[in-house]
Amino acid sequence: MNEDEILQTLRGIQVGFDQTKHDLAQFVDNSHDKLHEKEISELKEVNLEDNPIYVALRELSPSLALIYAQVKSDIAKNDRLTWGMTAHGIREVLRGILVLLAPDEELIVQPNYKQQSGTNGPTQKQRVKYILNKRGASSSSVDVVSEVDAIEERIGSLVRATYSRASDAAHGFKDKEETQRILRYFEAFAYDLLDLKDET
């Protein structure tokens, strides 16, 4: 193969490479569009576009909003083999909100902050109290502080139960009902925590 043939071959390889890059980029763009369309479609199915909690979470943390959307999507369907992961999703959103609205670096410098024995940092209750106090919540709103442990305990009980027994239809139905109850508790809690207006 002479020099001209080598150059021609290299040009052909480069053209093929450029075309592959173009095709791959187009594939990624199209896939992104399809995923976006799928996400919008699923959100419409579970009525999240106008959901105040979802909207607030999307501004606070898109990843938390996505987890919340997945929880709502799970609840709207009946094809879950186990509800432990759905309940865990609620827990992740709850904890994420608390950490973002009451970060350690803000909380631990407060004059009245005292680290509880046996902990490595602020407790859930301390975070909730800080969030409510920071926005000047009324004394009745501060009662919300006690709710965080109740939600965590219900989630923990459900998760432990689902992972310690074999799944069957009867347990699955009961677990879904409990997950729905936990979600309702969380959403009522989130309205206070995110300072949302109840439009119902």
Which pLDDT tens digit goes with each residue over 64-98? 999 999 999 999 887 777 888 898 899 999 999 99
Q: 44 with 55: CB under 8 angstroms?
A: no
Share of the chain above pLDDT 90, in %: 26
What is the pTM assigned to this prediction? 0.70
Q: What six digits make up the tokens of 198?
A: 């109840």
Q: Dihedral sign, CA of 17, 23, 28, 29?
A: positive
DSSP label at residue 169: H
Q: What six digits make up the tokens of 27?
A: 């594939």
> Which tens digit of pLDDT belongs to each residue from 45-64?
667 888 999 999 999 999 99
How far apart CA 140 and CA 146 sit, in angstroms, is: 12
